[in-house]
Amino acid sequence: MVGAAVRLLRGSRLLTGNIPTCLSSWNIPPHVLKYSQSKASLNLSNNGLSSVPLQTFTKEELMIKNSVKKFAQQQIAPLVSTMDKNSEMDKSIIQGLFQQGLMGIEVDTKYGGTGASFFTSVLVIEELAKVDASVAVLCDIQNTLINKLIGKHGTEEQQATYLTQLTSEKVGSFCLSEAGAGSDSFALKTRADKNGDYYVINGSKLWISSAEYAGLFLVMANADPAMGYKGITCFLVDRDTEGLHIGKPENKMGLRASSTCPLTFENVKVPETNVLGQVGHGYKYAIGSLNEGRIGIAAQMLGLAQGCFDYTIPYIKERVQFGKRIFDFQSLQHQVAHVATQLEAARLLTYNSARLVEAGRPFIKEASMAKYYASEIAGLVTSKCIDWMGGVGYTKNYPVEKFFRDAKIGTIYEGTSNIQLSTIAKSIDAEY
């Protein structure tokens, strides 16, 4: 684990360029990250984390966190505006994620992974989202959905084949949603009919993240419609499989550099050996992966909101109106204090749910709370930051309006806010 962190740090030192020294357009002020800095307990073992504050990290976690921060500021930040404008992820960013070991954070080192923890994945997603949520969601899906599903349910042969590719060069994409299967995801109509030693998939999918550059698709299709949702099965489908068609990326409000495409399956033949896990257990795998994935979305929304806040505070400390800094007006101070408290609460909810996962304790309610709250406050925080920056915050010359646009999806994907509230309520009902 230490070696993996050192490898990440060593890779980050190869990056060129200096952190900006002033607030200028899309550049990131270097001094604004103090608020979200966390302490390290350098001699702390993983088993000792339960007795220390949630924002105290192991040495390895802190090393990777700092390495990702440098990578995001130096390599991603200069390209964010262009990628947003062109609705396209720069290939160098994807390559950089692989080179930095960020596309296989929890994957065993024997498959080329970093061999780190789920909590480390959360920290990485948060740091990336402080600079660009589009890059963060790519990393999030790869680690909390794709790699996790194959790692948990794949055969030794599937893991050796696909995890090795997913940690080094291949992007994965999770295919569940359909036109008639959004929040009611198990109402999917895509079929997988058995024919000898392979399955034939027919149907379509919508809102598939990373589809434009994915090399592997984890496709949920019903292998036995008579069984209802208990017929849903997960298939590993390679990009070049005949009959798989990737549609034009959606023209979205936010996360514009993250491709979101429709897919169609026309007699797509998938070998029986490419069934992930057991036939008819796809719905269980989807539920389990999305429960953990929601913590990743919480981290994304938290990082996005924190990044916007970090960018805005130096501006209101320097902007002078009526002979004094606008930060010195008590009404604005109270707004800033309120937002800072919301950010801290979201961080603690997110970190706590991630630590629960690592401890093997129940986490579904806490994951929904983290995802719900972080998504809701991301919209509020980014809106407030635009208010505080005034006219310049409303322009595309500065990244604040992009943070605002990117935040909206948080209350929609991987379970809407209402779905999260329903999940929380069901848990409370069961507890009492």
Query: Which active-site residues does the annotation give?
Result: 414
Dihedral (Cα; 325, 327, 329, 333), 10-degree rounding? -170
**H helices present in 254-323, as ranges:** 282-318
Measured over all CA atoms, what is the biggest interatomic distance in the chain, rounded to whole angstroms? 80
How many residues appear in the chain? 432
The Cα–Cα gap between 304 and 140 comes to: 13
The Cα–Cα gap between 207 and 256 comes to: 13
- Which secondary-structure segment (H or E) carries 338? helix 330-359
Is there a contact between 173 and 209 (Cβ–Cβ < 8 Å)?
A: yes
- Which secondary-structure segment (H or E) carries 417? helix 417-431
Write phi, then psi, for 171 (nearest 5 degrees).
-85, 140
Dihedral (Cα; 172, 174, 179, 181), 10-degree rounding? 180
Is there a contact between 310 and 36 (Cβ–Cβ < 8 Å)?
A: yes
Nearest of 376, 371, 372, 365 to residue 339 by alpha carbon? 376
The Cα–Cα gap between 428 and 88 comes to: 42
- DSSP secondary structure code for residue 329 in this structure: S
> Residue 65 to residues 9, 117, 139, 370, 379: CA-CA distances in angstroms?
10, 12, 14, 20, 25
Q: Which two tokens stand for residue 38?
A: 């966390």
Dihedral (Cα; 202, 207, 213, 219), 10-degree rounding? -40
Exposure b/e, 414-429, CB count within 10 A at least 16 = b: bbbbebbeebbeebee
The Cα–Cα gap between 15 and 353 comes to: 33
- β-pairing, 191-195 with 198-209? antiparallel
